[in-house]
Structure 1
Amino acid sequence: MNNQPLITVAICTYNRADYLADTLDALAPQASDPSLCEILVIDNNSTDSTGSVCKDFAGKHTGLEFRYFKEESQGLSFARNRAVHEAAADSILFIDDDVVPDQHFIEAAAGYIERYPDVMCAGGRIFVSFDEADPGWIPKQLMPMFGLHDLGSEVMQYPKSNFPRGGNMMIRREVFDTCGMFDTELGRKAGHLLGSEEKAFFAKVREEGYSLYYWPEMQLHHRIGAKRLTNSYLKRQSEGIGRSERIRVQSSVLSTAVKLLSECIKLFGSLILSLGYLIRGKKRAAALLIRFRIWVLAGFLKPQDPV
């Protein structure tokens, strides 16, 4: 590559070939200027047609800077760390493999990156798009579980209680050089719906004195298929959240105790919130709100078997 692009759009993927194809097709018309953007796909041992999708995409779009790598160490954090290693740009824009970027997504990201050269980490706006009709029974408090991340329409510094989400986050290489990489004990792995890797990473970033910013015009839509709305999947995902939080704080007895107390308080709060849904006749939403907190707590308390 002769010229360094401004942005590396990094997509880490595992067995979502159909979704990935749509994501790439949405990016293609935006990435026509090689000096602006490269697209980088890290395939984390997919067993579906992901490789063929990427080969076909590269063949159809020979004018784009597109590269594909296989990461054999299983886990999203391993794949993201590989993306950092392979990225040609200093600004790495991570997006998920099941999103549809807005029409001017890359243009908006490039504008922010050039306008705010001192911003080292930023998160974009994420809307939720259900493949089928909006189910209507999901409590608004749980929509972030499906990827919703909307802090409004103004550029702002993230409050201490919030941080960029992995489905749409820009991190400059300097941050990795200073703070290290994503924790490979955290993040999703085949068969395990773990998380918290972004939370742990941005905690380190803040400890090093970096500020986190929200860039609202850098926006995309996170797709949710019917499988992810089943009771079994929601339970696994919720337990994975609890388990991930336990792994994140397990090195400190005090932090573990504080987190356990926090989860108990959240469960009590959910009981109160569920009453509001019951009063409005939304029994399914009320039940999900309570079950979610019970599942998270169960995942936190479950003995930590090796993943």
Structure 2
Amino acid sequence: MTQVLHPHAHAAPRSTSARRADTLTVVVCAYTTERTADVAAALASLAGQTRRPDQVLLVVDHSPELLAWARATVGEDVTVLPSTGPRGLSGARNTGVAAATGDVVAFLDDDAAAEPDWAQQLMAAFAEDDVIGVGGGVEPAWPALRPSWFPPEFLWVVGCSYTGLPTTRAQIRNPIGANMAFRRDVFTAVGGFDTGMGRLGKDAAGCEETEFSIRAGAVPGEGRIVLEPAARVRHTVSTDRVARTYFRRRCLAEGRSKALVSGLAGAGAALSTERDYVRRTLPRGVLRGLGQTLRGDSSGAARAAMIVEGLGWTAAGYLSVRLRAALRPGRRASA
């Protein structure tokens, strides 16, 4: 019988002493036949690890065509599962967690490829008993040249590590969803990903890993989440995501998603990282872009302008949901 993970279930917190992190399950969630080449590359990267995963799960999110392709194509070392949750990334991830047997459950996006030592670097970070989650570095694989107007401070728009993140192992609030891992007992303690949040197909929503990480970190006695930049993956940036229209849409969706997290976890926790990002990282990025323009890089001003525009669209998305919630007291904000 498939275990159903309630997104907000709680159990008694467990001691962080002598926690095992010996075995690893990797979950790859996929939803469309348009990405079969990427899925194959992701699975091939797992097969080439210096520290092979003990279990690899490919969860297909409500696509009969993709499920048939996966069952006919992938090797015996990969278990193919249909998602048993609601349509969307959160439901697929929860299906993977329910089927996982490893002490650690890692998540790799279906359009990302792990570096050969990725699993080894992730597992090394769990050597400290109080580490409950680990995020890795996510490098963009651009379809051609990186757009000259695209500011590095906004690489999160394409699901990648951005300027402002730590460059050495450090504690963080939440990892990037394309490359993250948690101890399996954390899901037992706090439940799964909230199926009311997260991506559904090609939409630009997100933040389900943020909400989950805040929930996990709030349980007394659980532990901390760290970033290990050396655990690297390369994340494919599709051609549609290098357009300014996508940039704006993704920023707007991020703001809406952050508002939903604020409604669930409180603005203090939901925006703790973002406040420093807005106060420090973005102003430095604007000044850097303007300085580059003065030194002869004509694209510097465009990057500075996109930082301002990106912040504006993100703030607009956040405020639109919070205002809607204020006008409908007692009801959960909905994007």
Q: TM over 0.5: same fold?
A: yes
Query: Who is 1:105 aligned against?
Result: 118
Work out whether 1:125 is the aligned partner of 2:130.
Answer: no
Query: Who is 2:56 aligned against?
Result: 39
| Equivalent pairs, count | 291
Work out whether 1:298 is the aligned partner of 2:306.
Answer: no
Query: Who is 1:29 aligned against?
Result: 48
**Equivalents in 1 of 2:160, 2:314: separation in Å?**
19
Work out whether 1:229 is the aligned partner of 2:231.
Answer: no
CA shift at 1:172, angstroms? 0.9
Deviation string 1:252-298 (CA, Å, 9 cap, x unpaired) is 89769x89x96997999487676446545324323322221221122
Q: 2:166 aligns with which of 127, 151, 157?
A: 151
Secondary structure in 2 aligned to 1:302? helix
Query: Who is 2:4 aligned against?
Result: none
Q: Is the 8 A contact 2:252 2:313 kept in 1?
A: yes
TM-score (norm 2): 0.74
**Equivalents in 2 of 1:111, 1:19: separation in Å?**
27
Q: Is the 8 A contact 1:121 1:212 kept in 2?
A: yes
Would the alpha carbon gap of residues 45 and 278 (structure 1) be closer, same or farther in structure 2, given more than 3 Å must change?
farther
Secondary structure in 2 aligned to 1:296? helix
**Equivalents in 1 of 2:314, 2:226: separation in Å?**
28
Would the alpha carbon gap of residues 265 and 112 (structure 1) be closer, same or farther in structure 2, given more than 3 Å must change?
closer
Deviates more, 1:68-77 or 1:198-207: 68-77
Deviation string 1:92-117 (CA, Å, 9 cap, x unpaired) is 0111111111123234334444x445
**Equivalents in 2 of 1:205, 1:78: separation in Å?**
18
CA shift at 1:85, angstroms? 0.7
Query: Who is 1:96 aligned against?
Result: 109
**1:192-271 alignment runs, 5 A limit:** 192-208=203-219, 209=221, 210-250=223-263, 269=283
Would the alpha carbon gap of residues 215 and 85 (structure 1) be closer, same or farther in structure 2, given more than 3 Å must change?
same
**Equivalents in 1 of 2:44, 2:140: separation in Å?**
19
TM-score (norm 1): 0.80
Query: Who is 1:286 aligned against?
Result: 304
**Equivalents in 1 of 2:102, 2:134: separation in Å?**
16
Amino acid at match of 1:135: P
Secondary structure in 2 aligned to 1:184? coil
**Equivalents in 1 of 2:27, 2:36: separation in Å?**
16
CA shift at 1:24, angstroms? 1.4
Work out whether 1:137 is the aligned partner of 2:152.
Answer: no
**Equivalents in 2 of 1:248, 1:185: separation in Å?**
11
**1:269-280 alignment runs, 5 A limit:** 269=283, 275-276=290-291, 279=294, 280=297
CA shift at 1:214, angstroms? 2.5
Deviation string 1:26-60 (CA, Å, 9 cap, x unpaired) is 22233996xx421111111237x5324422433xx
Deviation string 1:114-150 (CA, Å, 9 cap, x unpaired) is x445532111122122121222321121123323336
Q: 1:185 aligns with which of 190, 196, 217?
A: 196
**Equivalents in 2 of 1:165, 1:234: separation in Å?**
17
**Equivalents in 1 of 2:135, 2:30: separation in Å?**
20
Amino acid at match of 2:118: F
Would the alpha carbon gap of residues 295 and 207 (structure 1) be closer, same or farther in structure 2, given more than 3 Å must change?
same
Paired-residue identity, %: 23
Q: Is the 8 A contact 2:83 2:95 kept in 1?
A: no
Amino acid at match of 1:45: H
Would the alpha carbon gap of residues 57 and 26 (structure 1) be closer, same or farther in structure 2, given more than 3 Å must change?
farther
Q: 1:13 aligns with which of 30, 36, 49?
A: 30
Would the alpha carbon gap of residues 31 and 234 (structure 1) be closer, same or farther in structure 2, given more than 3 Å must change?
same
Structure 2, unpaired ranges of 5+: 1-21, 325-332
Secondary structure in 2 aligned to 1:84? helix
